[in-house]
Structure 1
Amino acid sequence: MAVFRQHIDESHHDSINLLTQQMITILNPIMDNHESKFEHLARQVERIVRIVDYDEGDQNLQMNQEDMMNMPKNMGGHMHFERDTPRVVH
């Protein structure tokens, strides 16, 4: 009986290890993708903060010149947003 119990315990342990490995295989890419999207969103928010310098004291909006230079523009120098511009989708 003790041998049978040991066999069941080992089998249970092996099943738990297999399940753990399968969960890691499935969940790690999902978590990496989630983390990547969160980091991308954080970068976008930081860029918005740099572009729009909001001062609560006088509540004036000013454009940061460096970020204005990096915004997408057409041949005439006018800002535009094409389909290729990264956007956050909820």
Structure 2
Amino acid sequence: MNRKAIEFEKRDKCRSYLYSEFSAKAKFLEEFSERNSWLSDPLVPAGKYLKLLMAKRYLLIYQIKGENVCVDVVADCRQDYSWLL
């Protein structure tokens, strides 16, 4: 197997893992959307967004609109996202 094929296989496994993690968290949010903690930041309106950690390093930032859960951001926690807030 050449190097390019190995890299492709690694990325494919990573993609599959993240997809399955996101799907599992989406199912969790269907039933327990209000169970997570609120996002607290002086620049974000209090009580609007909730947060949920996914796959050890990704943060789902979502809000509840009526009967729907809307994921607004999936942030990589290894990065500096102060510009986002």
- More strand, by proportion: 2
Pair in the same fold by TM > 0.5: no
Higher helix proportion (structure 1 or 2): 1
The normalised TM-score by structure 2 is 0.38
Larger RCO (CA under 8 A, 6+ residues apart): 2
Please identify the structure whose Cα radius of gyration is greater.
1
TM-score (norm 1): 0.37
